[in-house]
Homo-oligomer: A and B are copies of this chain.
């Protein structure tokens, strides 16, 4: 890539992770190498994990975190896994192996106190100029928004969860 940027997808609406997946698909189509490192998302496999092989070796998806959701009553294990993921993110970022690095749900990891916002800012500072860095998750910190080049808020106008439709295979997962 000639010139990479920092993109943030935040907000309470649906479409943050899926937008990152779509970016990944488009970038793979252009011959770029893409890595999606997922924070606090050990569950699944979801549809995106099941298809990743078909786009390998250009697309790599790495899941981190416990299978369930963050255990806010006993957060030590979640924190340890998120810190490991942060170290991995640093390595992936500077490895030269990827044109597009998506750190999925990293804002959520900050929100739960699993990693510090200073660590996210460190990643933004470490980004090689030719790497596109995409950060997703609701409640992006103001300092992350400030440091980013492009920020989109996915705003929930209407959500079918409220109408009783559960998360569906192939759509939400």
Contact = CB atoms under 8 A, between A and B. Distances in A.
Contacts of A148: 158
**Interface range on chain A: under 10, 10 to 19, 20 to 34, or 35 or more?**
35 or more
Residue of A9, A145, A150, A153 with highest tally of chain B CB at under 10 A: A150
Residue of A8, A14, A163 with highest tally of chain B CB at under 10 A: A14
Interface stretch (A25-33, A67-75, A108-116): A25-33
Contacts of A150: 14, 158-160
A26 B1 contact: no
Contacts of A165: 3, 5, 149
Contact of A171 (B27, B52, B156): B27
Interface stretch (A42-50, A80-88, A90-98): A42-50
B171 A26 contact: yes
Contacts of A154: 15, 19, 152-155
Given A1-B168, A55-B54, A26 B13 contact: no
A78 interface: no
Given A151-B157, A157-B153, A30 B163 contact: no
A170 B15 contact: no
A105 interface: no
Contacts of A46: 26, 29
Interface of A: 1-3, 5, 7-11, 13-32, 46-52, 54-55, 99-100, 132, 145, 148-160, 163, 165, 168-171, 173
